[in-house]
Structure 1
């Protein structure tokens, strides 16, 4: 991560756990000097996004704070691309697919954008943009009130869309995946739409990079029992891996063959 935007997105992601992050740890992780990290922390502090403490920094926000879309989009872009590519490979021609909001699911939309014979339902205007020139994909946009910045549609009109439609697959984005709290998200309005999306789908596939494991965000979305599969970039902690196996949740790790994955069932039965 050599650009300031990449580094600062990584820093904000790290402090979102609520722990103090050390300058030395950030410098090692990002392979830059401690002086560079201190400059980044200084700029983020000026923007009110963190508070510097001796030897590091801590977040000034609680569980309901969601970093801006542009910052989240810059972070772990390679991991998100791998997750999205794997997710898109699970979609067959003729299927109906619900696409949630969030940076990783928008990448799924990009990988599906050249496909044919799909029906896409989404509350994400950013996802819709990828299908604007594809006349071979039918796109249904949920109504509602737009959250600026996120460009997600929320409210009763969005709920109504998913109460009357039933899709084959849902690709769901979340703020946290925790053994006790289940699936959580930063924003209450988005979480309420996610609940309706889950009710409308036959398969619920969570697309989330590994930083989401163990984290709890502000608003409850669903218990882990609701999940059919999780697609991520690296293996979760052992306790979560065992829990996924107990709950029969298929675990897919992009670009890896992990023993944890081999223990899980596949969700590609429609292609067998």
Structure 2
């Protein structure tokens, strides 16, 4: 599934507002209500939003978008973010890389690096990076999630806590306007919290659709992050949060 720019913007707007009417969307994008209804139907069929009579709303705060859909959603934006991250990672670095489709793009962007030591709880990343020249990959233990091949649980956290690495690269499901970081699975959150604690530098990768999404479990705060890599400028309120927390903002070109 490939979304056009209007559909991407529509989805981002619904995620910010929570619910938006068809009439309001049609006026915003200067298209017919029939076009908006077709867009909403497409996005709902791919489990990206909830369709209602007369409008669309965000999905549940307790469940993330399906993994297959997330792989193609904001794909170009994620690649831009990944290239920006890879450009700042030196050779011979040690890294944590956690679950997520954006972090998987970071892993792809690191294919030309040498001497990397990567610790991950993401089987997709492990399978990808184990073929890179001069790259050692350590895979955490734990309970394997069928939906996205992610490892979570107490064994995962204990494994992570054995290491102190140069860079922790983490994805997130939601960044609220006050800088609160949220996700859907508390077991995944525990793993990400361990990565925050065991990394000398923490870099958060998140495209603009992650801002103001609903998610249930609190992971932490932007002030715990050294750099936020995203694809669009942030709001004035979030910019203030970043400056107060001394968190560097990188907007990928």
Question: What is the TM-score normalised by the length of structure 2?
Answer: 0.87
Q: 1:232 to 1:38 in 2, by over 3 A?
A: same
Equivalence for 1:258: none
- 1:89 Cα offset (Å): 1.0
Matched, 1:88 2:86: yes
Equivalence for 2:72: 74
Choose the corresponding residue for 1:229, options 206, 223, 227.
Answer: 227
1:118-145 CA-partner distances (Å, limit 9, x unpaired): 0011111111222132241000111111
Task: Out of 14-23 and 142-151, give the one that drifted further.
Answer: 14-23
- 1:58 Cα offset (Å): 2.3
Preserved contact between residue 141 and residue 156 of structure 2 (Cα < 8 Å): yes
Equivalence for 1:134: 132
Equivalence for 1:38: 37
* Paired residue secondary structure (1:73): helix
- 1:26 Cα offset (Å): 5.3
Choose the corresponding residue for 2:162, options 161, 164, 177.
Answer: 164
Equivalence for 2:190: 192
Count how many residue pairs are aligned between Structure 1 and Structure 2.
250
* Paired residue secondary structure (2:163): coil
Equivalence for 2:50: 50
Distance 1:205 1:46 in 2: 33
Structure 1 vs Structure 2 CA RMSD: 2.7
Equivalence for 2:238: 240
Distance 2:110 2:43 in 1: 35
Equivalence for 1:105: 103
Matched, 1:6 2:20: no
Equivalence for 2:20: 21
Question: What is the TM-score normalised by the length of structure 1?
Answer: 0.81
Preserved contact between residue 181 and residue 216 of structure 1 (Cα < 8 Å): no
Q: 1:125 to 1:28 in 2, by over 3 A?
A: farther
Higher relative contact order (CA 8 A, sep 6+): 2
1:56-113 CA-partner distances (Å, limit 9, x unpaired): 2224x42112001111221111111110000011111111011111111110000012
Matched, 1:177 2:175: yes
- 1:24 Cα offset (Å): 5.4
Preserved contact between residue 207 and residue 231 of structure 2 (Cα < 8 Å): yes
Unmatched 5+ residue regions in structure 2? Answer: none
Distance 1:168 1:141 in 2: 17
- 1:27 Cα offset (Å): 6.0
Choose the corresponding residue for 1:62, options 38, 51, 60.
Answer: 60
Unmatched 5+ residue regions in structure 1? Answer: 256-272
Q: 1:130 to 1:183 in 2, by over 3 A?
A: same
- 1:216 Cα offset (Å): 4.7
